[in-house]
């Protein structure tokens, strides 16, 4: 004999584990869903792992700005996805950062203007430096 339960909204009898089709909430798609989907994709996980491997898991931005070698925790898009979606998996647009540097970079990007361009330029320098094994600045 199957087990049933009642829908809490309308009282309909339903098999256990099922939700009521009449009362099920329909949530509109959020604008950020394309980004959520992307960051959960196999392609992103592969690109992230490749970036961490190529840069030895280090935050080269921290090295250029403060002279310290620290492990990176986050892979950041130098040119943000909202600006150029086509660069989302480009290995030359990805860099490892600590969480703290990642937040600081986003503050600079949000400031816009010269500050934005300066931080993008510095991130590209850090990426080049890291890809060269820490040689040349």
Q: Which residue has 């098999």 as its token pair?
A: 15
- Phi-psi region for residue 20, left (φ > 0), alpha (ψ -120 to 50) or beta? beta
Pair type for strands 94-97 and 74-77: antiparallel
What string of pLDDT tens digits covers the 137 residues of the chain? 789 988 888 888 989 888 888 877 766 656 667 888 899 999 999 999 999 999 999 999 999 999 999 999 999 999 999 999 999 999 999 999 999 999 999 999 999 999 999 999 999 999 999 999 877 65
| 93 token code pair | 């647009």
């Amino acid at each position: 004999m199957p087990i049933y339960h009642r829908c809490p909204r309308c009282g309909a009898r339903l098999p256990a584990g099922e939700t009521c089709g009449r009362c099920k909430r329909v949530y509109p798609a959020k604008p950020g869903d394309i980004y959520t989907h992307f960051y959960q994709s196999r392609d992103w996980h592969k690109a992230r792992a490749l970036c961490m491997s190529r840069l030895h898991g280090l935050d080269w931005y921290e090295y250029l700005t403060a002279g310290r070698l620290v492990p990176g925790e986050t892979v950041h898009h130098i040119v943000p996805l909202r600006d150029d979606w086509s660069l989302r998996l480009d290995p030359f647009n990805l860099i490892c950062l600590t969480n703290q540097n990642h937040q600081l970079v986003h503050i600079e990007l949000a400031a816009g203007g010269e500050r934005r361009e300066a931080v993008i330029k510095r991130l590209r320098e850090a990426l080049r430096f890291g890809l060269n094994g820490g040689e040349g600045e």
